[in-house]
Structure 1
Amino acid sequence: MRIDTDADELARHRAVLRVLRSDAFLCGRSAAQHHRLPIPPRLLGIIEVGVPDTSRAPRRRGVLGRALRVAPDDVVVDEVRVTSAVRTFCDLARDLSVPELVAVADALATPHPELARAIAAFPDHRLRAKLTEAARLRDIASESPKESELRALLRLAGLPVPRCQMVVTDDAGRFVARVDLAFERYGELLEYQGDHHRTDVRQWRRDRTREATLESLGFHVTDITQADLDQPRQLIERVVANLRRRGWGGAPRFSPWFPG
């Protein structure tokens, strides 16, 4: 699960590093772009650059400078000097919600024990609990950042744990679909729909046929969009109502990390 980063943007990052001191490195949002980790659009545009905390943070127009305490393996050379992917994940906790951090954690190739060690060693101890929660909710089976955010919201609301990327077959064993998230016990399926599902007519028609087939097999399908993620409490209310209609007797228990 990776995102594309504009080549011109990466060229800007390299150009900025060339005019700064030799120990400067990309960090935070810019390191995330370099590693092609998913970050929200609100973080794009400004180049984030760090230096060791023994130096003064860079001050330059269009640059967010940081003086950071870094271990020797926190900064790597990958065409440019940049924080490692796992250190970048930790630094992003300053700017991302827990669901957004889960999307980054899902995209990492880092084994969980290594991720846990990086969190334990992260210098900003105030963010370790937030990072630990994001790591706990990680599921590398996720195939898109928005699917990851949605799953994190469900978990942070105390709903049953959904199964990620469940394969559905018909009565004859033929493949029907692989769905984003499934409350398998209750036959409730959640599918994140990006804009291309709405604007591409062929895709829209395929989605409707697929949904009708799934419902003919006894499932109920709920489509989720960015508008739903932007109103997480209302989203959880809708999912809870659907689960209760299909036999769930529980109630949401919102974590302090639930956004809003």
Structure 2
Amino acid sequence: MNLGGRHGAALRGEVVKALGERGLREALASGVLEQVFRGVLIHSADSLKLGTRAHAALLAVDESAVLSGPTALALHGLSAAEGLPVHITVPYSSGVRSKAGLVVHHQDFEPSDVTEIDDLRVFELDLSLAESLCGKDSRTAFACLDEALHDLSPKRAQALRQAVFVRLSGRRDRRGVHRARMLAHLATGKADSPPESFLRLVVVEAGFPVPEAQFEIRTIDGRSLYRLDLAWPAVRIGLEYDGFAAHEDRAEYDAERDARMAGRGWIMIRASAADLRDPTRLLAELRQAFERRSGSAKTRAGNANMRTGRAKTREEG
């Protein structure tokens, strides 16, 4: 049976018209269909599909509901966002409340704030980003902004960033706005994956200088040699994120590259998914690297002062 067009969700009454009460009971008893929200049915095989769940959520509320938050970001194609459970926003006047599998937000909005993606009512990308940057999971929202900027031309990327700033300036609820503006400034669109965005945010929030993303190491004649995920070129410290596949398949290559970078005077540090969950080890190693650089700089300055002092002594003699 085809439920609800392209997304496969339908109101109970529509299913009864197609199957009859007995047919509906049999479909539910056999597990072919399931009721995800009161009065809304889907095929059990589609229960984990975002589009199906999102459509079901809209049917469970009314036409005033709009998909928002991480659900909207996921529907906009941003892989860093977890679309489930479904998030929707309804006007303040609505009495709808959150329930299992459905997170309800209350906020007044304009028709111009809403777009359609695959026939689903969704908040516009800039509004979805601004709202999420002010929310509890601003780290994921930051990765989503980085991802959204990634494939845009500089002009379009600047336009999106500016649109996010405008949304933040117009928020009635000012909670989280200051941090959201900082995150919007920090996003570069250069990260190749959400974990790289998470990593950049971790080191900045730990108090380290803002690193350069996707920093190119070039040969004397200008050829691109390596590209570092994050780097502090002034002190020659590089930071690379190793996903599981990279760690398993490229360990030998990465070790050789790190050795070559050490020969060029760089300190290379590697981070893993475990470091994103608990960055204690990573931050300690990074702190040691900066202390080494600071010590080297002091030593060079001291040597220079000694040479200057000896030169003055000879002149006075």
User: Do they superpose with TM above 0.5?
Assistant: yes
Give 1:123's aligned residue.
172
Deviation at 1:114, TM superposition (A): 1.7
Matched residue SS, 1:159: coil
Q: Give the whole-Å Cα distance in 2 for the aligned partners of 1:48 and 1:182.
A: 37
- Report the number of matched residues: 240
2:66–2:114 contact (8 Å) kept in structure 1: yes
| 18-27 vs 176-185, greater mean Cα deviation | 18-27
Q: 2:192 aligns with which of 143, 153, 157?
A: 143
The 5-angstrom pairing of residues 188-203 of structure 1 reads: 188-199=237-248, 201=249, 203=250
Deviation at 1:87, TM superposition (A): 1.5
Amino acid in structure 2 at the alignment position of 1:156 = E
Q: Give the whole-Å Cα distance in 1 for the aligned partners of 2:52 and 2:252.
A: 40
Give 2:225's aligned residue.
176
Matched residue SS, 1:185: coil
Amino acid in structure 1 at the alignment position of 2:189 = I
Question: Given the alignment of the two structures, is residue 54 of structure 1 paired with residue 101 of structure 2, yes or no?
Answer: no
2:50–2:83 contact (8 Å) kept in structure 1: no
| 127-136 vs 210-219, greater mean Cα deviation | 210-219
Question: Given the alignment of the two structures, is residue 85 of structure 1 paired with residue 125 of structure 2, yes or no?
Answer: yes
Matched residue SS, 2:137: coil
Matched residue SS, 2:204: helix
Matched residue SS, 2:49: helix
Q: Give the whole-Å Cα distance in 2 for the aligned partners of 1:249 and 1:36.
A: 46
1:27–1:49 contact (8 Å) kept in structure 2: yes
Q: Give the whole-Å Cα distance in 1 for the aligned partners of 2:130 and 2:260.
A: 42
Matched residue SS, 1:246: helix
Runs (5+) with no aligned partner, structure 1: 1-5, 251-260
Question: Given the alignment of the two structures, is residue 25 of structure 1 paired with residue 72 of structure 2, yes or no?
Answer: no
Matched residue SS, 1:215: helix
Amino acid in structure 2 at the alignment position of 1:113 = Q
Per-residue CA deviation, residues 53-87 of structure 1 (Å, 9 max, x unaligned), is: 22123555421122222233322122210111121
Give 2:286's aligned residue.
239
Matched residue SS, 1:104: helix
Identify, as 1 or 2, the structure richer in helix: 2
Q: Give the whole-Å Cα distance in 2 for the aligned partners of 1:233 and 1:249.
A: 24
> Of the two, which has the highest radius of gyration?
2
Relative distance call for 1:32 and 1:163 in structure 2 (3 A) is same
TM-score by length of 1: 0.81
Note the aligned Cα RMSD (angstroms): 2.6
Deviation at 1:249, TM superposition (A): 8.7
Q: Give the whole-Å Cα distance in 2 for the aligned partners of 1:108 and 1:169.
A: 28
1:170–1:217 contact (8 Å) kept in structure 2: no
Deviation at 1:19, TM superposition (A): 4.1
Give 1:160's aligned residue.
209
Question: Given the alignment of the two structures, is residue 101 of structure 1 paired with residue 101 of structure 2, yes or no?
Answer: no
Matched residue SS, 1:81: strand
Deviation at 1:220, TM superposition (A): 1.8
TM-score by length of 2: 0.67
1:137–1:155 contact (8 Å) kept in structure 2: no
Amino acid in structure 2 at the alignment position of 1:50 = T
Deviation at 1:150, TM superposition (A): 1.7
Q: Give the whole-Å Cα distance in 2 for the aligned partners of 1:184 and 1:175.
A: 15
Amino acid in structure 2 at the alignment position of 1:15 = A
Matched residue SS, 1:56: coil
Give 2:77's aligned residue.
36
Deviation at 1:233, TM superposition (A): 4.7
Amino acid in structure 2 at the alignment position of 1:62 = G
Deviation at 1:176, TM superposition (A): 1.8
1:56–1:67 contact (8 Å) kept in structure 2: no
1:29–1:44 contact (8 Å) kept in structure 2: yes
Deviation at 1:133, TM superposition (A): 1.9
1:116–1:132 contact (8 Å) kept in structure 2: yes
Report sequence identity in percent.
24
Question: Given the alignment of the two structures, is residue 69 of structure 1 paired with residue 108 of structure 2, yes or no?
Answer: yes
Relative distance call for 1:103 and 1:170 in structure 2 (3 A) is same
2:71–2:84 contact (8 Å) kept in structure 1: no
Amino acid in structure 2 at the alignment position of 1:17 = L
1:189–1:222 contact (8 Å) kept in structure 2: yes
Relative distance call for 1:100 and 1:46 in structure 2 (3 A) is closer
Give 2:273's aligned residue.
226
